[in-house]
Amino acid sequence: MPSKTLPDRVVRLTTASNPVEAHLLEQALRDEGIKSHVVGDYLDAGVGDVPGLYPEVWVHEDDLARAQEILRRHQASHAEDAAEEPEA
């Protein structure tokens, strides 16, 4: 019997370093037609800057491979932008 994909089967794509990064990635995924959800982006609001509390981006397991490719492109693009910024 073929296995059915559960509609609520989501997996963590990545852990972001901050909420802004998480939401930028969420927007990049949305622009490519992939639904995603940021989890934990406001955890630091109640307790302050606590190590280990980082936002995560989750996607449906069927979109994981495409989302990983978008994540790689997104990270490469930001690395190029950082390399082009003049040092202060």
Mean pLDDT by 10 residues, the chain (88 residues): 66 92 94 95 64 87 96 86 72
Domain boundaries, the chain: 16-83
Among the listed residues 12, 13, 7, 11, the one whose alpha carbon sits nearest the alpha carbon of residue 68: 13
From the DSSP assignment, how many helices (H) and strands (E) are in the chain? 3, 3
Where does residue 57 rank: exposed (0-12), middle (13-18), buried (19+ CB within 10 A)? Answer: buried
pLDDT of the residue at 36: 96
Q: In Å, what is the CA distance from 11 to each residue of 38, 55, 58, 72? A: 12, 14, 5, 17
pLDDT of the residue at 6: 59
pLDDT of the residue at 85: 72
pTM (2 d.p.): 0.75
DSSP state of 76: H
The CATH number given to 16-83 is 3.30.70
